[in-house]
Chain A
């Protein structure tokens, strides 16, 4: 097997992986970096993020506001020290992106413009029209070309990590074009493989978002944290799940039911006003807005469409000129995919799975419990999203913690050396044998697509917007069954060159492992918090028992072992999570109390 000797290997070349690679290269140009991606970097799913990246910018905003929006939005399940670091370093990182050429939208006087987003007290979302993720990804990718120490392995699929001497020492990858295996030896490995939205049926995610890195770390004993928290984005295209950014509402779009009524005012987000107001109505947080849809559907006030019940995203009053300028991609999606002109007709939308809040347990410096292993981005749980992510925090997360991961991994790589290369190569050989076994095994009859579809359907019924123990138990059983059936998989394609069938089979294995952590974590959390809402006697948040992180540990063929970890509270005691007029009242009361106490 061909061996490449790197100092730092990075698996995944989306926003987080690229930012980390640049950080390693800048911290020490002598360090050799292997940047591994199963697609060309510019295909990574960062590309699809639309709305923007949050950073405190305006004089009337403050780090405290950003902190409170994030922690309250996350229903107090955030690591508050990490959030403090995050909000403090957000601005310099989006400015860094600007210096690298990101085409941020501007005000007339040439400064970067900001727009409002859901759950946000003051506008602080930097944006590049409605293609922010696309522009950030391409800016990072093109900038990374400047650094000769970054050696890219494009279209290389990671099949496993190599752990020797109790620490990670490399990764084994398949060169997709030839089917050849390579061992990437490394003193530190950063995982930046993105989320796992593809475990669900209706989702906004690209086909590549299959939880690869999560599953790899998990199988090596690193816990996956808070996996039960899956974010439903409230405004997605029926059937395909394609995303209509929250910026649609930030710019002033309304959500209306079949009576043309702005129903969010019935769910603690009102009163309804004509102009968008931060933290009111359509600018409520994603979990609440998605949950309101669910209630409207139960009340029979949604509109029946060919692909399920929908509500309407109405942007007609914004006018074509503004829509074309601020939301060109949304305009195009509506016109080309649905035949709807959003300046003249409302867009039918429904919630779909969008974001994996949980992920590989990462400490504030992005390190994990496995020495040498770091993680960043959606695959990681560094602790800023809690039980519900605030829109436009995730793009900022990529750059803030991408840099941290790069710097920390570089530091670590310089402090250690490769031990026992013979044993590492031997391990790589057995990884290869296992990966080939998936194709070569005989007698299997299970189809990849069938298993994948059964998984996605089951996850949707068990881990939807609202959850019941009976449904979750059924999904636990189903995933367990599918993991057994996976062993009898039949891979039709026996070739070497671009054998995408083989890769789909390996990905399915990743998906099933991650799915199992999601549903078992959900079943055991007997409360309602953020995006995890139950209807079976646990409708309230229970801080006494569940102000805790869920930790799912790999347990071989058996379901994951679930443990709990403490939540770091620094300055925000868990309070009532309120938006709209109730939110204003709660803020005032908190202030009064603060004044009385202080």
Chain B
């Protein structure tokens, strides 16, 4: 009979063991907020289909203090989501060469973040022009 008795350790509370895991879980949780905001926009779309009064009511609702607070939270969460997403992006792409030189992960993350800032500014600019 073998004397081996391999000991398997429990995974309970694994995500609290390392700050890296906590940051990872935070990134995953931000997805819930992304989904929640998508639902909110979907409700707006339904309201729009129900007529002008319904849509205005939805817009009024967005201006309540609770919803403003909600928006601020969501903005912060989205910023973190964007940052963490572009941080992992180099890991999702094949190795690339530009002009014979390997593109470094930092360059990919930096380009992604810059692109998202530019996109946000562009949207802001367009919306301002419309109102």
Contact = CB atoms under 8 A, between A and B. Distances in A.
A binds B: yes
Nearest to B2: A178
A497 B7 CA distance: 13
A496 interface: yes
A179 B3 CA distance: 8
Nearest to B5: A497
A180 interface: yes
A535 interface: no
Contacts of A496: 3
A495 B3 CA distance: 9
Interface string B1-38: 01111000000000000000000000000000000000
A179 B4 CA distance: 10
Contacts of A178: 2-4
Interface in A466-499: 495-497
A423 interface: no
Interface residues of A, number: 7
Interface in A156-204: 177-180
A337 to B, nearest CB: 26
A110 B5 CA distance: 51
Contacts of B4: 177-178, 497
A180 B5 CA distance: 15
Interface in A119-137: none
A177 B3 CA distance: 9
Contacts of A497: 3-5
A439 to B, nearest CB: 14
B23 to A, nearest CB: 26
Interface in B91-127: none
A177 B2 CA distance: 9
Contacts of B2: 178, 180
Contacts of A180: 2
B2 to A, nearest CB: 5
A164 B12 CA distance: 56
A43 B2 CA distance: 25
B31 to A, nearest CB: 37
B89 to A, nearest CB: 25
Interface string B32-68: 0000000000000000000000000000000000000
A177 to B, nearest CB: 6
B43 to A, nearest CB: 55
A52 to B, nearest CB: 24
B5 to A, nearest CB: 8
Contacts of A495: 3
A106 to B, nearest CB: 14
Nearest to A497: B3
A151 B2 CA distance: 21
A179 B2 CA distance: 9
A13 B4 CA distance: 24
A497 B2 CA distance: 9
Nearest to A498: B4
B36 to A, nearest CB: 46
Contacts of A179: 3
A88 B4 CA distance: 50
B1 to A, nearest CB: 9
Contacts of B5: 497
B115 to A, nearest CB: 30
Nearest to A175: B2
Contacts of B3: 178-179, 495-497
Interface in A526-542: none
A497 B5 CA distance: 9
A495 B2 CA distance: 12
A293 B99 CA distance: 46
A178 B2 CA distance: 6
A495 B5 CA distance: 13
B101 to A, nearest CB: 12
A179 B1 CA distance: 11
Interface in A484-518: 495-497
Contacts of A177: 4
Nearest to A495: B3
A518 to B, nearest CB: 38
B45 to A, nearest CB: 55
A180 B2 CA distance: 8
Given A178-B2, A495-B3, 9 more contacts: A177-B4, A178-B3, A178-B4, A179-B3, A180-B2, A496-B3, A497-B3, A497-B4, A497-B5
11 contacts: A177-B4, A178-B2, A178-B3, A178-B4, A179-B3, A180-B2, A495-B3, A496-B3, A497-B3, A497-B4, A497-B5
Minimum-distance CB pairs A-B, first 4: A496-B3, A178-B2, A497-B3, A178-B4
